[in-house]
Amino acid sequence: MNSNLKGKHFLTCQDWTKEELDVVFETSFDLKDKFRKEISTRYLPDKTLFMIFFEQSTRTRNSMEAGMTQLGGHAHDLTEDKMQLSHGESAKDTAIILSRMGHGIASRNCFYGIGRQYLKEMAKYSSRPVMSLQDDVYHPFQGLADLMTIFEYFGKNVNGLKVTISWAYADTHSKPLSVPQTQILLFPRYGIDVTVAYPKEFPLSKEIVEQASRNAQVGGGRLNFTNDMDEAFEGAQIVIPKNWGGFGYYDVNDFLKNEAECKLEMKSSLEKYKNWICDDRRIHLADKNVRLMHALPADRGHEVTDKILDNPEISIVYDEAENRLHTAKAVMSLTM
């Protein structure tokens, strides 16, 4: 595939112009149509992608690996224990060597205060495109799949669409800020009105909120914040109930110096908000044709009830998950 995006890193949607993102969406829809018709799309024959995962993954790992296969290439599934990373090999050395051996590098590193810097360091020294599979600040592939799904259900003109992104209770682990932060940065660029609800102990990063506000001014969308989940759900056309950790409550350096203490405090704060759930009562506060989205895996019974998540008249989470494949293939085919 001929593309003027060849070689461009994909660390965040923020680094790509709206026109470049439009090319990604156009390519994603074309690839999805060809996938359903079983038309071959071997745009990357004999090319190699190195995938480095520091955390577990279902949708990201499989969308990238299946995507490379369908594009005619091959993906190496690498984890820390399979590499010299466990012995302290630097991001610089890893990037230089792998970029000489293949055609692209993709990595997931969500450690708070570390992940984004690790990916930036690899991008600095790689001679091939580096793609973020999620870090502590951004999850760009998820953002693309989310917006593609919105386009499918609401059309390409989404000016004024009301989307609520709400913190929700979950007790599995302290989840990164990267999904909601990517959404508030990306959606307003397309004129979407976004409301973010969260308890006061679980804000998003100040730096990201400021940039998202600037994006909204340029893109014509709106960005509002509230500490009331009910208020956020009122009239919403899309609701996204998603847990995230309280990392934004702390200065990054202070958190890293006092990580154990901060995590204990986050756990204590978490237990105060078990009633932050997307349930039947709250869904009826939203628009009568409301749609539910979630990056998955959802913490069933905590973030959202089974009744809502499994309701095909409301939930579009599986379309959203499938679109991780098509948007991943689009970015890889355009950059590699």
* Distance in angstroms (rounded) separating the CA atoms of residues 292 and 309: 7
**Ramachandran bin of 299, using left for φ above 0, alpha for ψ from -120 to 50, beta for the remaining angles:** beta
Distance, CA of 212 to chain centre: 15
Distance, CA of 249 to chain centre: 21
Same domain, 153 and 82: no
Same domain, 123 and 45: yes
- Neighbour-count burial of 34, counting CB atoms closer than 10 A to its CB (0-12 exposed, 13-18 middle, 19+ buried): middle
CATH code where residue 268 lies: 3.40.50.1370
pLDDT of residue 284: 97
pLDDT of residue 190: 98
pLDDT of residue 88: 73
Residue 175 lies in a domain: yes
Residue 205 lies in a domain: yes
pLDDT of residue 113: 93
Same domain, 227 and 295: yes
Q: How many domains does the chain have?
A: 2
Please give the angle made by the CA atoms of 117, 198 and 294, to the nearest 5 degrees: 70
Residue 8 lies in a domain: no
Residue numbers of the domain that contains 125: 13-139+322-335
CB 30 within 8 A of CB 328: no
Same domain, 214 and 225: yes
Say which residue the tokens 């993906």 belong to: 75
* Distance in angstroms (rounded) separating the CA atoms of residues 276 and 230: 9
Residue pLDDT tens, the chain, 336 long: 778 999 999 999 999 999 999 999 999 999 999 999 999 999 999 999 999 999 888 899 999 999 999 999 999 998 777 776 656 789 999 999 999 999 999 999 999 999 999 999 999 999 999 999 999 999 999 999 999 999 999 999 999 999 999 999 998 767 999 999 999 999 999 999 999 999 999 999 999 999 999 999 999 999 999 999 999 999 999 999 999 999 999 989 888 899 999 999 998 899 999 999 999 999 999 999 999 999 999 999 999 999 999 999 999 999 999 999 999 999 999 999
Same domain, 147 and 200: yes
Contacts of 61 (CB under 8 A, 6+ apart): 51, 53, 77
**What is the torsion angle, in degrees rounded to the nearest 10, for the CA atoms of residue 333, residue 26, residue 179 and residue 129?**
20
Terminal Cα distance for the chain, rounded: 9
pLDDT of residue 330: 98
Residue 191 lies in a domain: yes
Same domain, 331 and 312: no
Same domain, 128 and 212: no
Single-letter amino acid, residue 61: R
pLDDT of residue 174: 78
The tokens describing 334, both together, are 């355009």
Same domain, 192 and 207: yes
Helix (H, G, I), strand (E, B) or coil at 79: strand
What pairing do the DSSP bridges indicate for beta strands 104-109 and 48-53? parallel
Provide the strand spans (E) within the chain: 48-53, 74-79, 104-109, 130-135, 162-166, 193-197, 222-226, 238-241, 291-292
Same domain, 306 and 166: yes
Same domain, 152 and 254: yes
Same domain, 310 and 326: no
Same domain, 67 and 111: yes
Residue 3 lies in a domain: no
